[in-house]
Structure 1
């Protein structure tokens, strides 16, 4: 019988234990943004002992494919960037579109003017010009087009653009005004031509538009700024019989038309009409939604309903922002505290006021994006990328907050906690990623996860509470112990080679 010397025995035992540990340990990279000061900070120290609840990833069970995540090009944002120094302008665009930044992959812009323009304007100002021969995007050449082109040059993977008009040219409407009113039926064909001219003009600038919505917020906005009303039936008729066929005949049949483009609580009557039969559905590529119905409810039942009504169509959040607020300059704590109020705080009907309590901006973003991704939404687009300290410029003085606030007079840039919150999703959940199933035993945490085309998995965890949370992350039996700080959002990246 052979005896192993004690020192050799210990070495063998250590080797076996090391191999076992290696086989069961899940290798991850963790990034956190928190109320205590982390800003997409890499976290490297976690407890060695497993304790707490378990978050189990089930990558073999998949849901929707991600189209993209990003923000919007507005004239206000582009104008402000033009007032900054070259260094700061490049800093902001790199932060949104560069490999070191948020890597925005899906964006939005406005067709002619909106509230976040410097003035009212249309691309077709000549009344009665039904063939739209006097079409011009000259208004966009100073600010908007240069911003989009610079972002395109910076973005390695590129990004899609959804374009929306806030109104048709006023002369096409029953009230002849930028604000309110309806598109007259005799101008349906002319308005369809207007879209085609827009796509052609932007294409000539080297900018391809990925998608369109027939109008922003067809229920109107209280007749405050540019708007135009459509009923579900009217918009469906316009798309089915005018816009869809026109784009198809003019070579723009691959541009995705997204219907509705307003708050989720009203979505059911819209998808019922849009997708009622094959003819009505033909030219709709999907549905666009906004978040302004509530500061805390992401309306999962409505999202589920919309998905199941058209399971093969897009379901994209095209606008959300902290509205009716003046930004808090370089005050990170405000973005984590329940001090923000939106339009509904003052103006919602009594029966809806409960949907609009004071809220923390970071919480609203993190909760909504996770809620959307866990309920079939495949794209999420923030509103303005850049605003000033007043929350503008905005011709109607409808102040809002953006992830990046600038002071052009002093050439200063402030990246708010909202910027880092957006980055937790856009930077790590890439186009064509698949949302995967997550089993979470901790009710204090919101979680979503996606498997990217390169095989990596991104897990986003949100802890709204004031107590740090420990949990075990489990993937196919491989585990690691994680702590997420109080009032924090984490992205956990699992590289494909370590799974």
Structure 2
């Protein structure tokens, strides 16, 4: 704990702690010594100015991640789960999983294997029993504070769809009630395994994914009508009306049309508890105007980032420096239209995560969920060979584990910004230094600052008529903890 005298002699000194992840090699390292730099940034924390309440931060339980954990030694499996969920780890508090298979499954599968089974008499989660459910239950046993689970379907079984295929197509109207029942059955099946599901997104990426892997398309009106007339009433009738329903669940650039339809009137809004978003529209723009619009349309609803990752990229193994360099590419590097190509340059993975999370916090987003928690050195397994990066990469053949800088980047938020915290105001003299701050339920204040540039900076942080003097080096992410006075 660093103790600095305040600018008022009669006041008690300010105690604070600083944790840093940096291109120079620090990974959530506690910092006690600071330097004076020519560039001075003044921050003023405004605890009395409050914004959204934090729901949580975390990652996703996928069959791929769970399968890989089961290929490792018990020691390494436990190390990874503790790193994510233990009190001395990242303390993940908000998570996501898939209903039926997704691209990060080993194969296509459904909980409704019998064609024409409209009452779902043959509903079964047997496919999840070997890997996915044990991973979730082991995480629950490790987590002292617990965590919320959001479940998302990528597609209904092909027999319920107009194209009879896993990829693309739409849910046939004759199966709307069956599909609503599917959500209710899922709650019961997971509850029987000791797992409480907090809520759902209605459909992962309703625009589709370029007809590549499991998907099912909705227009904004189709999804809103399904929730208003089928899903919401069914959960309510089954005594599950407390389960959270999030609409949309795709990229932010398309938010306006969706929230306009979802929250068009009281009847349409009734069963939607909020909006889910992804980040894949750009590698650097977090679309603040779209986020502000979504919040203003439904100011008392959740706004949660439910998926983001370094996509279309094979992970780099045991080379922390790569994650700080502008060398990663994404799907848009190759496939974006010419007019959108500028949104997808090469980028530094740490920068993308840190910028996006801070940008989200400063624009009303209350939860942020990473995609896979664990992938292998290829960026899979993935039945479609859609390779991605996870914060933890493993080599199951050699029983080796690599905690990338992305793991520590996530922990800067998840470990120190706790559920129930409130985002507070910050006056910042330097727009190039990204900053967000929250007041935690225990009264402590957590400030995250990201200096992605090449110039180190001195910081002067004012709070309660006291001032903290410290510094942040170039290419560094810091979390500053100020205990309750």
Tell me the TM-score range normalised by the shorter chain: over 0.9
Check if 1:237 corresponds to 2:225: yes
Q: Does the 8 A contact of 2:317 with 2:393 survive in 1?
A: yes
Match of 1:213 in 2: 201
Counterpart-to-counterpart distance in 2, 1:50 and 1:44: 20
Q: CA deviation at 1:194?
A: 0.8
Offset from partner CA, 1:9-56 (integer Å, 9 cap, x none): xxxxxxxx9995472643210000000000000000124899822110
Q: Distance in 2 between matches of 1:50 and 1:467?
A: 9
Give the one of 27, 40, 50 matched to 1:39.
Answer: 27
Contact 1:35 1:336 in 2 (8 A): yes
Q: How far apart are the structure 1 equivalents of 2:36 and 2:409?
A: 28
Aligned to 1:83, the other structure's residue is in SS state coil
Separation (CA, whole Å) in 2 of partners of 1:282 and 1:82: 42
Cα gap change, 1:388 to 1:278, in 2 (>3 Å): same
Instruction: Name stretches of at least 5 consecutive residues in structure 2 with no aligned partner.
Output: none
> Which of 80, 84, 88 is the aligned partner of 2:76?
88
**SS of the residue 1:23 aligns to:** coil
What secondary structure is seen at the aligned counterpart in 2 of 1:28? strand
The yes-or-no answer on 1:303 pairing with 2:284 is no
Q: Aligned residue for 2:58?
A: 70
How do 1:326-405 and structure 2 match up within 5 A?
326-405=314-393
Change (3 A) 1:50 1:221: closer
Distance 2:374 2:147 in 1: 18
1:464 matches 2:452? yes
Greater Cα offset, 397-406 or 248-257 = 248-257
2:246 pairs, out of 258, 262, 265, with 258
How far apart in 1 are the matches of 2:222 and 2:21? 45
Q: Deviations over 1:338-384 (max 9, x none)?
A: 00000000000111000000000000000000000000000000000
TM-score by length of 2: 0.98
1:480 corresponds, among 442, 462, 468, to 468
Taking structure 1 as the reference length, the TM-score comes to: 0.95
The aligned residue for residue 447 of structure 1 is 435
Write the mapping of 1:101-180 to structure 2, written as runs, cut at 5 A. Answer: 101-180=89-168
2: CA distance, partners of 1:18 / 1:476: 10
Whether the aligned pair in 2 keeps the contact of 1:24 and 1:478 (CA below 8 Å) is no
Q: Which moved more, 1:245-254 or 1:281-290?
A: 245-254
User: Matches of 2:7 and 2:384 in 1, distance apart?
Assistant: 65
- 8 Å Cα contact 2:456/2:473 also seen in 1: yes
Sort the Cα spacing of 1:51 and 1:396 in 2 relative to 1 into closer, same or farther, 3 A.
closer
1:3 is aligned to none
Matching of residues 279-294 of structure 1 within 5 Å? 279-294=267-282
Structure 1 position 401, deviation (Å): 0.0
Number of the residue aligned with 2:41:
53
Distance 1:373 1:129, change over 3 A: same
Aligned equivalent of 2:215: 227
Q: Is the 8 A contact 2:248 2:275 kept in 1?
A: yes
Select the residue among 400, 421, 429 that pairs with 2:417.
429
Which residue of structure 1 aligns with residue 264 of structure 2? 276
2:319 and 2:35 map into 1 onto residues whose CA distance is 32
CA distance in 2, matches of 1:18, 1:370: 28
Which has the larger share of helix?
A: 1
* Gapped regions of structure 1 (runs ≥ 5): 1-16
- 3-state secondary structure, aligned to 1:177: coil
Cα deviations across residues 175-202 of structure 1 (Å, max 9, x unaligned)?
Answer: 0111110001111001001111111100
Aligned residues between the structures: 481
Alignment check: 8 A CA contact 1:51 1:481 kept: no
Contact 2:448 2:479 in 1 (8 A): yes
**1 CA distance for matches of 2:124 and 2:77?**
27
| Cα distance in 2 between the residues matched to 1:39 and 1:428 | 15
How many angstroms does 1:169 deviate by?
1.3
Q: Is the 8 A contact 1:61 1:436 kept in 2?
A: yes
Match of 1:9 in 2: none
Q: Any idea what SS the aligned residue of 1:27 has?
A: strand
Q: What's 2:192 paired with?
A: 204
1:11 matched residue in structure 2: none
- How far apart are 1:443 and its partner, in Å? 2.3
Larger Rg: 1
Q: Given the superposition, is the C-alpha separation of residues 463 and 49 from structure 1 closer, same or farther in structure 2, using an over 3 Å criterion? A: closer
Contact 1:405–1:415 at 8 Å: present in 2 too?
A: yes
Q: Do the aligned residues in 1 keep the contact of 2:8 with 2:466 (CA within 8 Å)? A: no
Instruction: Give the drift of 1:211.
Output: 1.0
Quote how far apart the aligned CAs of 1:134 are.
Answer: 0.5
- Residue 86 and residue 22 in structure 1: after superposition, are their counterparts in 2 closer, same or farther (change >3 A)? farther
